[in-house]
C-alpha cells in the first residue's frame, strides 16, 4: 500500500471516530433538555427514558476509546494527528460525564414529582439547562470547524451558568428558611442545579480541548468562575 492510500485510510478512520463523537454529542444535548423538560412537566416516563438512553452514550464512549486506541496502535500518527486523537478521547470522556449528570437529574425527577413543587424552580432549572445545551452545541461546532474563537466564547460563557447556579442556590436557601417543609425538595433541586453547573464545567473542558487542538496549547489564563457558594454538592 502506498503512502497516499495510507493517509486516505487514516483520514477515513479519524472521520469515523469524529462521527461517533458528534453522535454522542447529539444524544447528550437531547438528554440535557429532556431531563429539564421531565422536571418541568413532572413527567416520570420521560425521566426514565433519559436514564435508559444514557447507556447509548456510555457505549459510544467505549467505541470512541477502542477506535482511538486502534488508530494509535496501527497508524502511528504524526504530532498533529496525535493531538487530534487525544483530544477526541478527552472530548468523549467529557460528554460521557455530562450524560451522567443528565441521568442524575432525571433520577431526582422521580422523587420530586412526589412532592409539592417549589415555585419557579423548574423554569429556572430549564433556563440553566438550555444555556448549557447551547454552550455544548457551540463547543461541538467549534470542534468540527476548528474555531478557537468560538471555543473561547464558550469558555467565557461558563460564568453565566455559574451565576445562574448562585442565584438558584440563594433562592433555595430562602425557601428552606421560610418553610422547613421545603427542605427536602430544595435539597434535591440544589443537587440538580449543581449537576447542571458541573455540566458547564465539562463543556468548558471540551472548548479548551478545541483551543488545544487548533493552537497546540491549552489556555494559560485560569478559567473564569462565578461559583462562590459554600455548599458543593457531590457528584452522585
What are the residue boundaries of the structural domains of the chain, listed by start? Answer: 3-215
In Å, how far are 1, 14, 74, 96, 153 from 67, measured between CA atoms?
Answer: 21, 9, 10, 16, 30
DSSP 148: H
Q: How many helices (H) and strands (E) does the chain have?
A: 6, 0
- Nearest partner of 45 among 121, 109, 122, 131, judged by Cα: 109
Judged against a pLDDT cut of 80, whether residue 24 lies above it is answered with: yes
Question: Average pLDDT for residues 174-198, to the nearest whole number?
Answer: 96
Model pLDDT, residue 227: 58
User: Distance between CA atoms of 80 and 212, rounded to whole angstroms?
Assistant: 11
Residue pair 33/134 in contact (Cβ under 8 Å)? The answer is no
Q: Which CATH architecture does the domain made up of 3-215 adopt?
A: Up-down Bundle (1.20)
Residue 104's CB is within 10 A of a number of other CB atoms, namely 20
Checking if the pLDDT of 104 tops 80, the result is yes
pLDDT tens, position by position, 34-71: 999 999 999 999 999 999 999 999 999 999 999 999 98
pTM, whole model, 2 decimals?
0.89
Distance CA 210, CA 191 (A): 29
For residue 176, which phi and psi values (nearest 5 degrees)? -70, -35
- Please, which residues have CB within 8 angstroms of residue 230's CB and are 6 or more apart in sequence? none
| Residues 212/143, Cβ–Cβ less than 8 Å | no
pLDDT recorded at residue 220: 73
Amino acid at each position: 500500500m502506498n503512502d497516499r492510500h495510507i493517509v486516505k485510510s487514516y483520514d477515513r478512520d479519524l472521520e469515523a471516530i469524529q462521527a461517533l463523537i458528534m453522535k454522542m454529542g447529539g444524544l447528550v444535548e437531547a438528554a440535557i433538555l429532556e431531563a429539564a423538560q421531565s422536571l418541568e412537566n413532572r413527567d416520570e416516563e420521560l425521566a426514565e427514558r433519559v436514564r435508559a438512553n444514557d447507556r447509548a452514550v456510555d457505549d459510544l464512549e467505549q467505541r470512541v476509546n477502542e477506535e482511538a486506541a486502534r488508530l494509535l496502535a496501527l497508524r502511528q500518527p504524526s504530532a498533529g494527528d496525535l493531538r487530534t486523537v487525544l483530544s477526541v478521547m478527552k472530548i468523549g470522556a467529557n460528554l460521557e460525564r455530562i450524560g451522567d449528570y443528565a441521568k442524575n437529574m432525571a433520577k431526582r425527577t422521580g422523587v420530586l414529582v412526589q412532592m409539592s413543587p417549589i415555585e419557579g424552580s423548574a423554569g429556572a432549572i430549564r433556563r440553566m439547562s438550555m444555556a448549557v445545551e447551547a454552550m455544548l452545541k457551540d463547543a461541538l461546532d467549534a470542534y468540527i470547524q476548528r474555531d478557537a474563537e468560538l471555543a473561547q466564547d464558550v469558555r467565557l460563557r461558563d460564568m453565566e451558568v455559574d451565576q445562574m447556579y448562585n442565584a438558584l442556590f440563594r433562592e433555595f436557601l430562602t425557601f428552606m428558611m421560610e418553610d422547613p417543609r421545603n427542605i427536602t425538595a430544595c435539597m434535591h433541586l440544589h443537587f440538580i442545579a449543581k449537576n447542571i453547573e458541573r455540566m458547564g464545567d465539562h463543556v468548558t473542558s471540551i472548548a479548551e480541548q478545541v483551543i488545544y487542538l487548533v493552537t497546540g496549547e491549552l489556555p494559560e489564563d485560569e478559567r473564569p468562575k462565578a461559583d462562590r457558594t459554600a455548599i458543593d454538592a457531590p457528584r452522585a
